[in-house]
Structure 1
Amino acid sequence: MSGVSRYATYPSLRGRGVVVSGGATGLGAQFVTEFAAQGAQVAFVDVQEEAGLALVESVAAAGHPRPRFRRTDVRDLEGYQQVLRDLAADLGSVGVLVNNAADDTRHDSAGVDPAAWDAGLRVNLDHQFFATQALAPALRAAGGGSVVNLGSISTHVKLRDLVVYRTAKAAVEGLTRALALELGADAIRVNCVVPGWVMTARQLEHHVDAEAEATLDREQALARRVLPEDVARMVLWLAADDSAACTGQNWIVDGGWM
């Protein structure tokens, strides 16, 4: 079995148009890479231009379809919607939208002013709705498709210094159920993936210390860490036709923390 992956290949994803926000680094980069490896036509946006361009070259060098990348700030909601419409036209057809962009910067709630509150909601919640609104016509034109929103374990467990992020991610779960009901008649499925504490480069550099490791050892059922590829495999399944009857749900990838 040398050279054969132990993980699933999804024929329904081959050639399918996929759009990912926040795709240059971390979880988003894993999603872009995994979708391209499935043969999907991937477009992604991010504010990190250098990392985005490097990812395009890396994916193409691996022999996968070359992703499209646009430097975009998802907080500019009207501008972002236009970029999405342009990407949909470039792809020709869109069957998958992954609303991944987020910012989990820690903060003391006493220091959050209205501008910071609004900015936090825009980057963690608002763009998920407006991206879905912008691409719903393309998903309908494709005969239906899959929207995958990214939630967070922080909504469900005791983590401090994340009041704006936790509020936004709790709202993502409600948004998912509302959009699933509204768009279901058009065969558009909307689901929410809720990752646990994922060992991305950002988390390892800034937040995973001895105390965090002890928390994970104590709280998770599995004696291992959740990796970006663990979350990506759930996203792939929800994007593929294998999950055609699944919508409006939270799909938790947390090593058994909750």
Structure 2
Amino acid sequence: MIATFHDLAGASVYITGGGSGIGASLTDGFLAQGAKVAFVGRSDASSFCDEMEEKHGQRPHFMQCDITDTAHLKETLAEASARHGTVTRLVNNAANDKRHDPLEVDEAFWDWMIAINLKACFFACQAAIPGMIEAGGGAIVNFSSISYMMGNAGYPIYTAANSGINGMTRSLAREYGPNRIRVNALAPGWVLTQKQKDMWVTEEGLAAHLARQCLKDTLEPDDIIGGTLFLASDISKMMTGQALVIDGGVVVTG
């Protein structure tokens, strides 16, 4: 069951990677609130949009986009605002946690990983903030991960980007707080999306991770909806520059 956030009804929401994994759950969650959702993704999401339209009576606006193409990314934000009204809720969800050996990384791979996991997040914010200023405020949710908090091995560029997202989030919160723009980070734990199941989940690895969680249930994409809606809603109107962790209690912050 998801709480109702009345101020999200009719809000213009933009989500990166909103057609699969956690992002698809977020699109579903915002539509359930009556929000107008636009999202981007690399793969065609027409069937997902059909499903959402049948479920909610409102079709999300899908734009195919590689978020490493900064010019195109900015164009999609402008298109979303033209279609649904000024984007006042931005959710930077898209990421890629491709595993890599530090000793085998070349500059091209470094640049690609940073482009997906950090650069696109910054430029989406840059594109959305002027409209939010004109609208009198807005909310940005930048997805990070607990991977850097855990010091996980196997993907150091990904963890570096996650840590960078936190620093960027805090600075943007300070920069644009006077404009009533709130910027927060959300750090999920190991969410068992289909991609994770197909590529990384093993029985032994999952058991070891669950042993570190305070709560012993696996995290599913829908478990991230409530926290995202909370950060995007005016219910959290005095919360900014923070990192909300949803991980079943692996890292205990504070």
Q: TM-score, length-normalised on structure 1?
A: 0.95
User: Matched residue of 1:117: which SS?
Assistant: helix
What are structure 2's unaligned runs of at least 5 residues? Answer: none
Is 1:62 the counterpart of 2:55? The answer is: yes
* Matched residue, 2:13: 18
Q: After TM superposition, give the deviation of residue 7 of structure 1 in Å.
A: 2.7
> Which one-letter code corresponds to 1:98 in the other structure?
V
8 A contact 2:8–2:34 mirrored in 1: yes
Partner of 2:27: 32
Instruction: Tell me which amino acid in the other structure corresponds to 1:162.
Output: Y
Distance in 2 between residues matched to 1:171 and 1:63, nearest whole Å: 36
The whole-number CA distance in structure 1 between the counterparts of 2:72 and 2:13 is: 19
Number of positions where the alignment pairs a residue of Structure 1 with one of Structure 2: 251
Q: For structure 1, which runs of at least 5 residues remain unmatched after alignment?
A: 1-5
Matched letter for residue 31 of structure 2: A
CA distance in structure 1 between the partners assigned to 2:151 and 2:120 by the alignment: 26
Q: Residue by residue, what CA displacement relative to the aligned partner does 1:83-129 show, whole Å, maximum 9, x if unpaired?
A: 21122122122220000111111111111100110010000000111
Q: After superposition, give the CA deviation of every residue in 1:107-157 in whole Å (9 maximum; x if it has no partner).
A: 111111001100100000001110011011111222211000000111111
Equivalent residue number for residue 189 of structure 1? 182
The letter of the residue matching 1:7 is I
Alignment of 1:163-182 (within 5 A): 163-182=156-175
Residue of structure 2 in register with 1:3 after alignment = none
1:122 counterpart SS class: helix
Which of 119, 128, 131 aligns to 1:135? It is 128
- Distance in 1 separating the partners of 2:210 and 2:145: 19
Amino acid at match of 1:23: G
Q: Does 2:104 match 1:111?
A: yes
1:210 and 2:240 aligned: no
The Cα shift of 1:64 comes to 3.6
CA contact (8 A) 2:144 2:188 kept: yes
2:77 equivalent to 1:81: no
2:232 alignment partner, one of 239, 242, 247: 239
Aligned with 2:56: secondary structure? coil
Q: Are the equivalent residues in 2 in contact too, given 1:37–1:64 (CA < 8 A)?
A: no
Residues 74 and 123, structure 2, Cα contact 8 Å, conserved in 1: yes
Q: Contact 1:152 / 1:194 at 8 angstroms: preserved in 2?
A: yes
Aligned counterparts of 1:199 and 1:142: Cα–Cα separation in 2? 37
Within the alignment, does 1:43 sit opposite 2:22 as a pair? no
Which amino acid in 2 is paired with 1:100? N
Amino acid at match of 1:45: V
One-letter amino acid of the counterpart of residue 10, structure 1: F
2:117 — aligned with what? 124
Q: Say what the alpha-carbon RMSD is for the aligned residues.
A: 1.0
Quote how far apart the aligned CAs of 1:73 are. 0.6
In 2, Cα distance between equivalents of 1:255 and 1:92: 36
Question: TM-score, normalising length from structure 2?
Answer: 0.96
The percentage of aligned residue pairs carrying the same residue is 39
The 2-side partners of 1:97 and 1:120 are apart by 21
Following TM superposition, the consecutive aligned residue runs of length 4 or more in structure 1 with deviations greater than 2 angstroms are none
| In the alignment, structure 1 residue 250 sits paired with structure 2 residue 243 | yes
